[in-house]
């Protein structure tokens, strides 16, 4: 019996290289990671997008990414037009990988005519990777979690 039929990983064969390339090209069109967002925000000049925190006010007050716009998912339809420019791409984030609030907000924004990406990892991974965040008390930063952040936070090598 071949490995293709006995391996649970290969029980369903991988797609062709062309199908795989199309899938990952699409994935990169829809998603950005925390390190790339942090790098773009830290660079001199306009990052070319607006970062939107889609969480509740209580979560926003607990901590949020500096420069982000607060627009809870449920309020996107009524407030997006006042807070965001349709000509500027939007990157949404919520709490973390277990939350789909940023995905739901991205869908709502796209349906309103915005270009949108979602930041993978959300606020949780922003903090875990050691980037600064704001609260009512000011700016704070935690040490990077060695299991989530590369040795050189500016470049994970990928």
Cα separation of 122 and 98, whole Å?
A: 9
Structural domain includes residue 125: yes
pLDDT at 5: 65
Structural domain includes residue 37: yes
Cα separation of 147 and 62, whole Å?
A: 23
Structural domain includes residue 44: yes
Q: At what angle do helices 76-83 and 101-111 cross, to 10 degrees?
A: 70
Q: Tell me: the pLDDT tens digits for 96-137?
A: 999 999 999 999 999 999 999 999 999 999 999 999 999 989
Structural domain includes residue 69: yes
**pTM across the whole model:** 0.89
Structural domain includes residue 82: yes
Q: Tell me: the pLDDT tens digits for 19-70?
A: 999 999 999 999 999 999 999 999 988 999 999 999 999 999 999 999 999 9
Structural domain includes residue 39: yes
**Structural domain that includes position 116:** 31-140
Kindly state the tokens that stand for 44.
């001199």
Q: Kindly tell me if the per-residue pLDDT of 91 is higher than 60.
A: yes
pLDDT at 44: 87
pLDDT at 3: 52
Structural domain includes residue 17: no
CATH label of the domain that carries residue 102: 3.40.250.10
Structural domain includes residue 96: yes
pLDDT at 148: 82
Number of domains in the chain: 1
Q: Is residue 63 a contact partner of residue 134, using CB atoms and an 8 Å limit? A: yes
């Amino acid at each position: 019996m071949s490995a293709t039929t006995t391996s649970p990983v290969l029980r369903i064969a991988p797609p062709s290289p062309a199908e795989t390339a199309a899938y990952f090209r699409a994935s990169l069109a829809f998603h950005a990671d925390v390190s790339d967002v942090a790098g773009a925000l830290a660079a001199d000049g306009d990052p070319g997008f607006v970062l939107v925190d889609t969480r509740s006010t209580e979560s926003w007050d607990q901590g949020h990414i500096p420069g982000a716009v607060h627009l809870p998912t449920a309020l996107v339809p009524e407030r997006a037009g006042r807070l965001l420019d349709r000509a500027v791409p939007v990157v949404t984030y919520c709490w973390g990988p277990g939350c789909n609030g940023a995905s739901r907000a991205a869908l709502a924004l796209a349906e309103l005519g915005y270009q949108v990406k979602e930041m993978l990892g959300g606020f949780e991974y922003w903090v875990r990777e050691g980037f600064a965040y704001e609260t009512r008390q000011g700016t704070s930063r935690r040490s990077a979690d060695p299991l989530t952040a590369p040795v050189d936070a500016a470049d994970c090598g990928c």
